């Protein structure tokens, strides 16, 4: 019974906040456009300020602005009155958050901002408050009945503030022409940064790949070609001009033995390689490589230059954690029909290499 009541109460809270967002969306008009124009025309930084829960929301809005192409930082309203006003310059724009619009620190800060000559965008639930009267542009949140049985804790109002801040930041970003490449440049760390990196930032460079002439036999390649310390599971094949013509993978090797085509090891590898393999150019984004690996269910992706000369390779083991909605166990299941388990492949590889060296001797 208690569980049912908890779920019922939580749904009421979520529905109350979602209704507030729908009402806010309907209320948007020319004032929102004015605020976006101020942000776009700002020659300095967008300073975000607030106090209490509004201040915490403001920190997130400042971070979103900064990460989407609008220079921004947060200044706490109380600290601003004790020296941090020095962080604000006349070419900045200030976004002030206060649901009541009558918070003491905010009202004391407003005339200081006016003295600096900075435009003020007020986000408030009271369009006729002291903050609203001091602002250049007022974004009215409208009446926000706080969620919960008490209706006291900032909840609906802070959700509306946060959503409106996101709308400002992302609208300005889109109008700036901010691209995914720009986003990646500002997010070099973590899995998000890797997804937005270039393939050349993540690929295995050519010196760590196995590259051979497509005129060589499989025997020659395994005997004479020094394998990289870390196996890539594929050989990149090139013609006499050094251009990529094919790829030979562990899967191809396994199939060769499955079909008892041992005599093929002394034939030119071009006869058994995958000709004209899927590849990406070196200016592609890593996310393109990830999407291609997932969509085509392949494990190795050559990276080539404008002349189709290989410069490296993306191996699926390097990006497994970045594949969209593809847990590692799913990838392993998808590739099981074409790629032996790693241990099995290693055994095959070591066995054939040893046999070929012995016969060559």
Q: Inform me whether the pLDDT recorded for 71 exceeds 60.
A: yes
**Are 138 and 218 in a shared domain?**
no
**Are 29 and 149 in a shared domain?**
yes
CATH number of domain containing 262: 3.10.580.10
Is position 295 within any domain?
yes
Which range among 59-63, 198-202, 350-354 has the greatest average pLDDT? Answer: 59-63
**Are 214 and 325 in a shared domain?**
yes
Mean per-residue pLDDT, 201-208? 90
Q: What is the model's pLDDT at position 322?
A: 62
Q: What is the model's pLDDT at position 143?
A: 87
**Are 166 and 21 in a shared domain?**
yes
List, for residues 331-343, the tens digit of each pLDDT value. 444 444 434 434 4
Label residue 325 by pLDDT band (50, 70, 90).
low
Is position 41 within any domain?
yes
Q: What is the model's pLDDT at position 231?
A: 59
**Are 115 and 209 in a shared domain?**
no
Label residue 271 by pLDDT band (50, 70, 90).
very high
Is position 270 within any domain?
yes
Q: Inform me whether the pLDDT recorded for 198 exceeds 50.
A: yes
**Are 8 and 112 in a shared domain?**
yes
Q: What is the model's pLDDT at position 337?
A: 40
Mean pLDDT across the chain: 86
212 forms bridges with which residues in the sheet? 237
**Are 163 and 204 in a shared domain?**
no
**Are 203 and 115 in a shared domain?**
no
- Residue that wins the pLDDT comparison between 250 and 170: 170
**Are 140 and 220 in a shared domain?**
no
Q: Inform me whether the pLDDT recorded for 40 exceeds 90.
A: yes
The count of domains in the chain is: 2
**Are 54 and 171 in a shared domain?**
yes
- Residue numbers of the domain that contains 29: 2-178
Mean per-residue pLDDT, 251-273? 87
CATH number of domain containing 89: 3.40.50.10490
Where is the domain boundary, 132, 149, 178?
Answer: 178
**Are 208 and 341 in a shared domain?**
yes
Label residue 344 by pLDDT band (50, 70, 90).
very low
The model scores a pTM over 0.85: no
Contact 61, 166 (CB under 8 A): yes
Where is the domain boundary, 178, 210, 241?
Answer: 178
Label residue 348 by pLDDT band (50, 70, 90).
very low
Mean per-residue pLDDT, 174-198? 82
Q: What is the model's pLDDT at position 4?
A: 86
Q: Report the distance separating Cα 345 and Cα 130, nearest Å.
A: 73
Q: Inform me whether the pLDDT recorded for 354 exceeds 60.
A: no
Where is the domain boundary, 178, 207, 235?
Answer: 178
Q: Inform me whether the pLDDT recorded for 83 exceeds 70.
A: yes
**Are 101 and 207 in a shared domain?**
no
Contact 222, 277 (CB under 8 A): no
């Amino acid at each position: 019974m208690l569980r049912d009541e908890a779920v019922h109460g939580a749904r009421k809270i979520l529905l109350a906040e979602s209704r507030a967002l729908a009402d806010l969306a309907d209320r948007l008009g020319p004032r929102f456009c004015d605020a976006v124009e101020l942000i776009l025309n700002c020659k300095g930084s967008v300073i975000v300020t607030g106090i209490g829960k509004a201040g915490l929301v403001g920190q997130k809005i400042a971070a979103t602005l900064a990460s989407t192409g609008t220079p921004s930082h947060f200044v706490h309203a109380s600290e601003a009155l004790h020296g941090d006003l020095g962080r604000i310059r006349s070419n900045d724009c200030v976004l002030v958050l206060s649901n009541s619009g009558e918070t003491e620190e905010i009202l004391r800060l407003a005339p200081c901002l006016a003295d600096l000559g900075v435009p003020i965008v007020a986000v408030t639930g009271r369009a006729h408050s002291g903050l609203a009267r001091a602002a250049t542009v007022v974004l009215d949140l409208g009446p926000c009945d706080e969620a919960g049985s008490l209706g006291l804790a900032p909840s609906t109002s802070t959700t509306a503030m946060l959503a409106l801040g996101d709308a400002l930041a992302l609208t300005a970003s889109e109008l700036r022409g901010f691209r995914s490449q720009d986003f990646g440049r500002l997010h070099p760390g973590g899995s998000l940064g890797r997804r937005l990196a270039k393939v050349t930032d993540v690929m295995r460079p050519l010196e760590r790949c196995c590259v051979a002439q497509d005129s060589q036999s499989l025997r020659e390649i395994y005997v004479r070609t020094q394998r990289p310390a870390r196996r890539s599971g594929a050989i990149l094949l090139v013609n006499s001009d050094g251009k990529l013509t094919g790829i030979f993978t562990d899967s191809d090797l396994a199939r060769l033995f499955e079909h008892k085509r041992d005599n093929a090891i002394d034939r030119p590898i071009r006869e058994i390689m995958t000709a004209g393999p899927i590849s990406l150019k070196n200016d592609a984004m890593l996310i393109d490589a990830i999407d291609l690996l997932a969509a085509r269910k392949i494990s190795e992706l050559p990276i080539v230059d404008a002349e189709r000369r290989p410069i490296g390779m993306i191996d699926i083991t390097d990006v497994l954690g970045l594949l969209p909605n593809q847990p590692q166990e799913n990838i392993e299941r998808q590739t099981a029909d074409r790629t032996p388990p790693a241990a099995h492949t290693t055994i095959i590889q070591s066995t054939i290499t040893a046999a070929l060296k012995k016969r060559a001797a």
